[in-house]
């Protein structure tokens, strides 16, 4: 309960405070986010002790009232979200939070929506939290204004509104067919439905799936993502890195819950999900290779990451899901760090320099104006720090040893090749994992060389400690997760086993 | 008869909404989204089953029979959905005006086609 109420309270508090009192708002906001991390860590411990902990809102019994459920997977994801929240809030303190009104409230509402979506056990409640996080993300995408941002946000808003309507159609079809919206109750009820109702339920689930996949940015539904993410301001984009994961989590949770224990007979949508995920990897990898500015490169990496996860979920043996969840955590951390870093690296460059740099080396001497009026203290060897962080991000995303990205990919490959004989889809997935890693290396290395080694005179990036600290903290967390990979994977494996055997979840939710 | 009329209404609204969403002007897109939202709201309402001539809750002079009630849940869902779509449409209108002001055109891509 607290992970939802706390950001709501903090957001409301910062909303009523006058715009002039920025420092106070910043303190409230960061304080609430730090507290959220502590609470999420407590939730992670709580989830480890029991199968799934249920909180009944208003103490109504389960199929009638709305429940919030925390199990291992959702607890880890809440923790991930709150860590990203702290990082991007601290980053924004340097300059971004003054770039437009109500920044702190929007971030808090976004955190509330994401946490709620991870924790809820009710289909319509999930819709409401989706809307909360989307409404906040519309505001954040617009944060800082400017023509590019407004245009990208317009597309982003329209696409997501249409997807929300699909979500509603799907949810109401499911309600019409089964008469319940509680996810655990649904998992039991839909089997008992009469054949015509069952067809309705399946149609509803399919429409719901499309709505989730728009948020998760699967291939034919993902064209809105690169423009919106690369146009968003850095702290907002860093938080958006976790938004696609909400869609993926929804697919994972509802898909496995409805599939039930009958894993031997995969449902009809599964191969589509696998191929769609693989197509997303291809599209994202091509995007990484083709993109000329760093923001777009980072957005395409988001696509690669979510495609990998979708395909892994669809192929879906239990150890593979565990490995994919580990990959989810580390790749989101790395992507977030990358989005923050992109802003710092690109600050010293003129707007448009990216496109020109490809064709014209002559633009080397252009000493461009800083985009932000904030003139910070130049920390010694700023470029070196930035370069090293960028390298670390690249290594993480491409999945090279020694960092956590490698551990995640290796665990996934291991799980894919475990079955004998290995199915064809798994071979395709193995090939794509390796090739997409390779494409990421090429794209990031090219971008890195252009940014850090061919640095034009006079465009030394100015970096404040307040801004580089969150990036370094996120990367340090990645290193820690590499060292502690064993225990985290064990934890997530237990979570994945629980997801694949939803009987326990259903029992806990419906227990009187 | 009611079923036919309601489903036709939903269908026409949804079809007009989809057509308008695919138009190149931002205002058409906004109206299209509103129409689609109406269609979806009606659809959710219809998912609570349609019934002719039934009492809203209790018929006068009779004991209450829960089985004869209209299902209240879809109505609650529709209320939530109406509020949310209303709010997001308002937000969309603001963004639309901002885009018009910044780019000088109401084309969805921010520039007139060549």
Give pLDDT, residue B10.
92
Give pLDDT, residue A405.
79
Chain B residues closer than 8 Å to A165 by CB: 33, 36-37, 40, 85
Q: Bigger pLDDT: A251 or A53?
A: A251
Residue at A267 is within a domain:
no
Give every CB contact of residue B67 below 8 A, 6+ residues apart in sequence: none
Chain-chain contact of A150 with B80 (C-beta, under 8 angstroms) = no
Residue A334 is encoded by which pair of tokens? 């790395």
Residue at A269 is within a domain:
no
Residues A421 and A315 in one domain: yes
Residue at A118 is within a domain:
yes
Residue at A458 is within a domain:
yes
Give pLDDT, residue B31.
92
Residues A162 and A102 in one domain: yes
State which of A260, A294, A316 marks the end of a domain.
A260
Give pLDDT, residue A433.
85
Q: Check: CB of residue A11 under 8 Å from CB of residue A43.
A: no
Q: Check: CB of residue A460 under 8 Å from CB of residue A419.
A: no
Give pLDDT, residue B35.
93
What is the rounded average pLDDT of the residues A84-95? 83
Q: How far apart are CA A509 and CA A501, in angstroms?
A: 14
What is the rounded average pLDDT of the residues B77-85? 89
Per-residue pLDDT of B11-56, as tens digits, reads 999 999 999 998 888 888 999 999 999 999 999 888 877 777 766 6
A162 and B CB contact within 8 Å: yes
DSSP E strands, A381-451:
none
Chain-chain contact of B92 with A158 (C-beta, under 8 angstroms) = yes
Residues A342 and A405 in one domain: yes
Give every CB contact of residue A333 below 8 A, 6+ residues apart in sequence: A80, A83, A84, A396, A474, A477, A478, A481
Residues A150 and A29 in one domain: yes
Residues A254 and A124 in one domain: yes
Distance from CA of B29 to the nearest CA of A (A): 8
Dihedral through CA A218, CA A496, CA A319, CA A205, nearest 10? -40
Q: How far apart are CA A109 and CA A106, in angstroms?
A: 5
The chain A residue lying nearest B43, using CA atoms, is A169
Residues A139 and A209 in one domain: yes
pLDDT at A380 over 90: no
Q: Bigger pLDDT: B26 or A506?
A: B26
Per-residue pLDDT of A169-219, as tens digits, reads 988 888 888 878 888 888 777 777 777 787 888 888 888 888 888 888 877
Percent of chain A with pLDDT over 70: 86
B82 and A CB contact within 8 Å: no
Give pLDDT, residue B37.
92
pLDDT at A359 over 60: no
* Backbone phi, psi, residue A70, to 5°: -120, 125
Helices (H), A179-293: 183-192, 195-216, 225-231, 234-240, 243-259, 269-290
pLDDT at A502 over 80: no
pLDDT at A400 over 80: no
CB atoms closer than 10 angstroms to residue B64:
10
Chain A residues closer than 8 Å to B49 by CB: 176
* Largest CA-CA distance found in chain A, in angstroms, rounded: 73
* Mean pLDDT over each residue of chain A, to the nearest integer: 78
Note down the domain range covering A71.
1-260
pTM: 0.84
Tell me which residue in B33, B96, B103 faces A161 most closely, judged by beta carbons.
Answer: B33
What is the rounded average pLDDT of the residues A360-379? 42
Residue at A512 is within a domain:
no
Chain B residues closer than 8 Å to A175 by CB: 47, 73-74, 77
Chain-chain contact of A172 with B99 (C-beta, under 8 angstroms) = no
Give pLDDT, residue B19.
93
Among A142-151, A262-271, A337-346, A455-464, which is the least confidently predicted range? A262-271
Confidence of residue A265 (pLDDT cuts 50, 70, 90): very low
B58 and A CB contact within 8 Å: no
Beta bridge partners of residue A120, listed in sequence order: A68
Q: Check: CB of residue A219 under 8 Å from CB of residue A283.
A: yes
Give pLDDT, residue A454.
62
Residue A249 is encoded by which pair of tokens? 């989590």
Residue at A404 is within a domain:
yes
Residues A418 and A447 in one domain: yes
Residues A246 and A319 in one domain: no
Residues A221 and A304 in one domain: no
Distance from CA of B89 to the nearest CA of A (A): 9
Confidence of residue B105 (pLDDT cuts 50, 70, 90): confident
State which of A260, A287, A320 marks the end of a domain.
A260
pLDDT at A150 over 50: yes
* A342-354: b (≥16 Cβ within 10 Å) or e: bbbbbbbbbeebb
Give pLDDT, residue A402.
75
What is the rounded average pLDDT of the residues A395-407? 79
Return the CATH class of domain B2-50+71-103.
mainly alpha
* Mean pLDDT over each residue of chain B, to the nearest integer: 84
Residue at A363 is within a domain:
no
State which of A202, A237, A260 marks the end of a domain.
A260
Give pLDDT, residue A349.
56
Domain count, chain A: 2
Residues A116 and A192 in one domain: yes
Give every CB contact of residue A266 below 8 A, 6+ residues apart in sequence: A259, A316
Residue at A370 is within a domain:
no
pLDDT at A253 over 60: yes
Residues A251 and A279 in one domain: no
Residues A145 and A255 in one domain: yes
Q: How far apart are CA A144 and CA A358, in angstroms?
A: 27
Chain-chain contact of A157 with B48 (C-beta, under 8 angstroms) = no
Closest CA to A20 of A85, A98, A89: A98
Residue A421: cis peptide before it, omega within 30 degrees of 0: yes
């Amino acid at each position: 309960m607290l992970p939802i109420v706390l950001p709501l309270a903090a957001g409301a508090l910062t909303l009523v405070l006058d715009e002039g009192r920025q420092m106070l708002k910043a303190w409230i906001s960061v304080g609430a986010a730090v507290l959220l991390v502590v609470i999420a860590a407590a939730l992670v411990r709580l989830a480890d002790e029991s199968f799934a902990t249920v909180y009944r809102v208003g103490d109504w019994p389960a199929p009638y009232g709305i429940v919030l459920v925390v199990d291992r997977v959702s607890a880890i994801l809440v923790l991930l979200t709150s860590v990203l929240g702290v990082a991007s809030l601290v980053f924004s303190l340097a300059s971004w939070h003054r770039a437009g009104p109500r920044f702190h409230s929007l971030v808090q509402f976004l955190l509330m929506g994401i946490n709620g979506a991870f924790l809820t056990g009710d289909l319509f409640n999930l819709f409401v939290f989706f809307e909360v996080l989307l409404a906040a993300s519309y505001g954040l995408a617009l944060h800082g204004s400017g023509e590019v941002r407004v245009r990208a946000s317009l597309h982003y808003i329209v696409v997501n509104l249409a997807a929300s309507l699909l979500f509603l159609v799907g949810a109401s079809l499911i309600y019409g067919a089964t008469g319940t919206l509680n996810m655990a109750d649904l998992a039991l009820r839909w089997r008992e439905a009469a054949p015509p109702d069952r067809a309705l339920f399946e149609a509803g689930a399919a429409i719901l799936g499309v709505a989730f996949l728009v948020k998760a940015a699967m291939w034919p539904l993902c064209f809105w993502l690169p423009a919106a993410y690369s146009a968003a301001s850095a702290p907002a984009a860093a938080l958006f890195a976790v938004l696609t994961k909400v869609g993926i989590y929804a697919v994972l949770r509802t898909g496995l819950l409805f599939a039930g224990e009958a894993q031997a007979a995969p449902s009809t949508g599964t191969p589509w999900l696998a191929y769609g995920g693989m197509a997303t990897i291809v599209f994202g990898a091509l995007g990484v290779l083709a993109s000329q500015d760093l923001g777009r490169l980072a957005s395409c990496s988001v696509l690669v990451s979510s495609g990998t996860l979708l395909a892994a979920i669809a192929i879906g043996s239990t150890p593979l899901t565990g490995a994919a969840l580990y990959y989810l955590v580390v790749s989101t951390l790395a992507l977030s760090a990358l989005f923050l870093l992109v802003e710092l690296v690109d600050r010293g460059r003129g707007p448009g320099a990216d496109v020109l740099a490809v064709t014209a080396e002559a633009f080397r001497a252009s000493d461009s104006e800083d985009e932000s009026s904030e003139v910070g203290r130049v920390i010694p060897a700023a470029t070196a720090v930035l370069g090293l962080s960028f390298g670390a991000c690249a290594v993480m995303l491409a999945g090279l040893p020694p960092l956590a990205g490698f551990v995640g990919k290796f665990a996934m490959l291991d799980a894919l090749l475990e079955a004998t004989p290995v199915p064809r889809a798994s071979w395709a997935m193995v090939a794509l994992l390796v090739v997409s890693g390779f494409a990421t290396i090429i794209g990031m290395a090219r971008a890195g060389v252009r940014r850090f080694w061919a640095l034009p005179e006079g465009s030394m990036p100015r970096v404040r400690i307040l801004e580089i600290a969150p990036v370094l903290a996120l990367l340090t967390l990645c290193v820690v997760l590499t060292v502690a990979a064993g225990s985290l994977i064990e934890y997530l494996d237990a979570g994945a086993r629980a997801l694949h055997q939803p009987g326990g979840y259903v029992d806990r939710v419906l227990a009187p | 008869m009611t079923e036919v009329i309601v489903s036709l209404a939903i269908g026409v609204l949804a079809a007009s909404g989809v057509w308008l969403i695919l138009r190149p002007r931002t205002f058409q897109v906004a109206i299209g989204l509103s129409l689609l939202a109406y269609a979806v709201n009606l659809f959710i309402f219809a998912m609570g089953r349609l019934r002719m001539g039934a009492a809203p809750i209790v018929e006068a002079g009779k004991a209450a029979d829960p089985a004869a009630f209209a299902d209240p849940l879809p109505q609650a869902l529709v209320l939530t959905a109406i509020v949310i779509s209303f709010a997001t449409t308002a937000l969309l209108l603001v963004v639309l005006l901002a885009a018009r002001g910044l780019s000088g055109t109401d084309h969805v891509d921010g520039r007139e086609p060549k």
